[in-house]
Structure 1
């Protein structure tokens, strides 16, 4: 069963995080929405505190989310997904079985294959022997030395650093499986039937994850989709421009 944390009262709203992340990355958004919704931040398989599995692809992610929904007796919910979590949300929405799905929000990702673009991060993580470090500061310095120059990305990765039962530093994400399954992560979600419910794509204006070339695929799969741009934001608009992001969400989600 997937790990989750929930807060608030009202209609259900599920949030799915991106690669290397966890539901905890969305805690501030969940708190801001908790006066209107019961918000559930899930850790996807092989991330956060959710179980590690033998396979990693969007159908298996979607199955795990549906199992969590069924186990928690949720009959209807809104769904937000960012990046890898956005593709998982699309996989669920495009399954043809969507009576439970009310409104869909996709954050800075399109329904298509992407070329490999996380090699530098994988190389840095591979190069670091966590047994040689006693604290987060040392790991951060090692990440920078091995090419992760962006402070925001280093801080994001370090959110998944913890001490295991042997009191040793470890990553919460399943690094080996993420590496071996990366081609599957980069692929487009499967397309069984279009999702005809209300859909919103949110793009950071400085991000290249969604382009004009993606519009035909989006319109084919999500015929009622609308789009919003957040000026000055990149691939993490919810973290980079939280006020603008929340205004957009509040305008799209029901009262």
Structure 2
């Protein structure tokens, strides 16, 4: 499995894993900023997302293997690994499966617990787009608005549009497989899975993905972890307050 990645800068390898229905490009602004600090930033598209291969199989075990193979192919060692949401679940799995790969681990707004499927409306909207003859991004936005009223969420999803051929837009993600494997997206780490290296969890003060009662679970799986909160932001904490997010990450990886 050869993952697609946009690589920015030179220095210590710093891999970033996007969330469900996203792609590495979602992190371009922050990735560029990290690269200016002496990091070689790898903005990875996970399988069935963006420009990476589409396959019928999809699980965190495979996503974790994909990252390991990517590191081997590119001879990356002692990496900084940051994952948001689904990408955070992948990053946790990589850390538990291949701890020798990682120097510092950062998990943005997700816990190692089970999450019930909660993207149904978004998936309905994207399915409608997938079955439409789209001539422009504006038309796609208009159609998607019937399902998703939040402008920011729509813009995030519409980043997946590309010109498949002249005058015809399509989505980059493997929507059918992602819909079929929706239960996989929320799966938890098993009780035996642990990573003892330095770990930073960052959550959004207005997000409900990491609850107060989840804190013992974070420590159980990641005994050397700490949790920081960015007030006044939701699940897309890195996009809502990029400066605060950037500072927390840099302070953690450079201390």
Q: Where on the TM-score scale, by shorter chain, does this alignment land: which range?
A: over 0.9
Residue in structure 2 matched with residue 156 of structure 1 by the alignment? 156
| CA-based RMSD | 1.4
Q: Which moved more, 1:161-170 or 1:233-242?
A: 161-170
Is the Cα–Cα contact under 8 Å of residues 88 and 189 in structure 1 kept in the other structure?
no
Q: Is the aligned partner of 1:126 residue 2:155? A: no
| In structure 1, distance between residues paired with 2:46 and 2:204 | 23
The 3 A distance-change label for structure 1 pair 65 and 167 is farther
Secondary structure, counterpart of 2:226 in structure 1: strand
| In structure 2, distance between residues paired with 1:79 and 1:127 | 35
The 3 A distance-change label for structure 1 pair 72 and 192 is farther
Displacement of 1:123 in angstroms is: 1.3
Is the Cα–Cα contact under 8 Å of residues 133 and 168 in structure 2 kept in the other structure?
no
Residue in structure 2 matched with residue 206 of structure 1 by the alignment? 206
Which residue of 43, 46, 53 maps to 1:44?
46
TM-score by length of 2: 0.95
Is the Cα–Cα contact under 8 Å of residues 94 and 192 in structure 1 kept in the other structure?
no
The 3 A distance-change label for structure 1 pair 191 and 90 is farther
The 3 A distance-change label for structure 1 pair 191 and 171 is farther
Is the Cα–Cα contact under 8 Å of residues 14 and 77 in structure 1 kept in the other structure?
yes
| In structure 1, distance between residues paired with 2:87 and 2:126 | 21
Residue in structure 2 matched with residue 10 of structure 1 by the alignment? 11
Q: Which moved more, 1:121-130 or 1:181-190?
A: 121-130
Q: Which runs of 5+ in 2 are unaligned?
A: none
* 1:136-193 deviation per Cα after TM superposition (whole angstroms, max 9, x unaligned): 0000000002x20000110000000111146521111111001000001111134544
1:160-239 matches, cutoff 5 A: 160-165=160-165, 168-190=168-190, 192-239=192-239
The 3 A distance-change label for structure 1 pair 129 and 252 is closer
Displacement of 1:115 in angstroms is: 1.4
TM-score by length of 1: 0.95
**How many residues end up aligned between the 2 structures?**
253
Residue in structure 2 matched with residue 54 of structure 1 by the alignment? 56
Residue in structure 2 matched with residue 117 of structure 1 by the alignment? 118
Q: Which runs of 5+ in 1 are unaligned?
A: none
| In structure 1, distance between residues paired with 2:76 and 2:116 | 36
Secondary structure, counterpart of 2:7 in structure 1: strand
Is the Cα–Cα contact under 8 Å of residues 204 and 234 in structure 1 kept in the other structure?
yes
| In structure 2, distance between residues paired with 1:167 and 1:134 | 6
